């Protein structure tokens, strides 16, 4: 593992930053979730980074589930839990066939268009939309697939959930619970395609502590942040992550 520089101070500083980003995202702050894999990719290949971070996501999920155990939308979960399972299965079955860059580019284009329209006030309704099954299955499948390939299932979920106008704690809790489920079912799939190795588990164990502490910091920030500011943050996070996915797809 030393070939990836996983025994030096630089690696550990970057790895701790990536694990804190994971924890804050599991605490309900969507703007930082997009940073974990790119940060860790500075010192190791992206697929290896995604594999190393998965156990940290799962442990952080436990704390997030406890923190948001009373704050979630049951209907959204009933629709999106099976849909995300389909998406993860597609990601596993097509791991060597489908271009994750192309899929990321499509999701990035849709996400950036959606976020821009919301930020500019276009095609928005003052009334909350109902959680419909059809769109939920589509965006849930997309969320499962993109989460499998790059831990970036947030944009599809946000495209579906933002028009529902859920309270901020319910929005954060529903997202946390949904992606706890997604990460759990990704574990055997990652193992099957060789993205998960016990060789890096000892490193993940050390990163559990900063990630877990960051979960509670994220929960605290969500609760003290005004509702309007929270959803402005969500929209800007969606826009930035979507633009990054689009840029990765379009660059030479």
Q: Which residue has the tokens 């954060």?
A: 172
Q: What is the overall mean pLDDT for the chain?
A: 84
Q: How far is CA 228 from CA 47, 123, 127, 175, 234, in A?
A: 36, 18, 15, 18, 10
User: Stretch 182-191: mean pLDDT, rounded?
Assistant: 85
Banded pLDDT at 51 (limits 50, 70, 90): confident
Q: Is the pLDDT of residue 123 over 50?
A: yes
Residue showing tokens 């284009």: 109
Count of domains for the chain: 1
Q: Give, in order, the Cα–Cα distances in Å from 56 to each of 16, 21, 80, 122.
A: 11, 11, 23, 38
Q: pLDDT digits over 95-117, tens only? A: 777 666 777 777 778 778 888 88
Phi and psi, residue 121, nearest 5°: 80, 15
Output the pTM of the full model: 0.79
Q: According to the model, what pLDDT value does residue 86 have?
A: 96
pLDDT at residue number 100: 64
Q: Which of 181, 219, 212, 222 is nearest to 80 (CA)?
A: 181
DSSP letter at 130 equals P
Between 4-13, 65-74, 164-173, 228-237, the lowest mean confidence (pLDDT) is in 4-13
| pLDDT score recorded for residue 124 | 66
Full residue range of the structural domain in which residue 158 is found: 2-250
103 contacts 149 by C-beta, under 8 angstroms: yes
Contact 79, 140 (CB under 8 A): yes
SS3 state of residue 153: coil
Q: So what's the pLDDT on residue 228?
A: 87
Longest dimension (CA), the chain: 55
CA dihedral 202, 205, 207, 213 (to 10 degrees): -170
Q: Which of 81-90, 207-216, 233-242 has the lowest mean pLDDT?
A: 233-242
Reported as a pLDDT band with limits 50, 70 and 90, residue 82 is very high
The answer on pLDDT for 141 being more than 80 is: yes
Give pLDDT, residue 7. 62
Angle in degrees, CA 226, 39, 72, rounded to 5: 35
pLDDT band at 196 (very low <50, low <70, confident <90, very high): low
Is pLDDT of 93 > 80? yes
Q: With a cut of 70, say whether residue 142 has pLDDT above it.
A: yes
């Amino acid at each position: 593992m030393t070939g990836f520089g996983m025994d030096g101070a630089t690696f550990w500083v970057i790895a701790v930053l990536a694990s804190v980003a994971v924890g804050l995202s599991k605490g309900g702050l969507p703007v930082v979730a997009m940073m974990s894999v790119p940060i860790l990719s500075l010192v190791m290949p992206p697929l290896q980074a995604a594999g190393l971070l998965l156990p940290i996501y799962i442990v952080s999920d436990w704390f997030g589930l406890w923190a948001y155990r009373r704050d979630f939308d049951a209907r959204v979960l009933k629709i999106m839990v099976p849909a995300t399972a389909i998406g993860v299965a597609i990601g596993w079955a097509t791991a060597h066939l489908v271009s994750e860059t192309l899929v990321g580019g499509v999701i990035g284009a849709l996400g950036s268009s959606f976020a821009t329209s919301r930020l500019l006030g276009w095609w928005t309704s003052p009334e909350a939309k109902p959680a419909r099954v059809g769109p939920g299955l589509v965006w849930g499948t997309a969320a499962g697939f993109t989460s499998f390939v790059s831990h970036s299932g947030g944009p599809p979920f946000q495209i579906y959930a933002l028009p529902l106008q859920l309270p901020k704690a319910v929005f954060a809790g529903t997202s946390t619970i949904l992606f706890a489920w997604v990460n759990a079912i990704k574990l055997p799939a990652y193992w099957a395609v060789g993205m998960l190795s016990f060789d890096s588990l000892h490193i993940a164990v050390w990163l559990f502590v900063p990630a877990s502490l960051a979960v509670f910091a994220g929960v605290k920030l969500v609760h003290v942040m005004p509702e309007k500011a929270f959803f402005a943050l969500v929209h800007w996070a969606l826009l930035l992550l979507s633009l990054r996915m689009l840029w990765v797809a379009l660059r030479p």
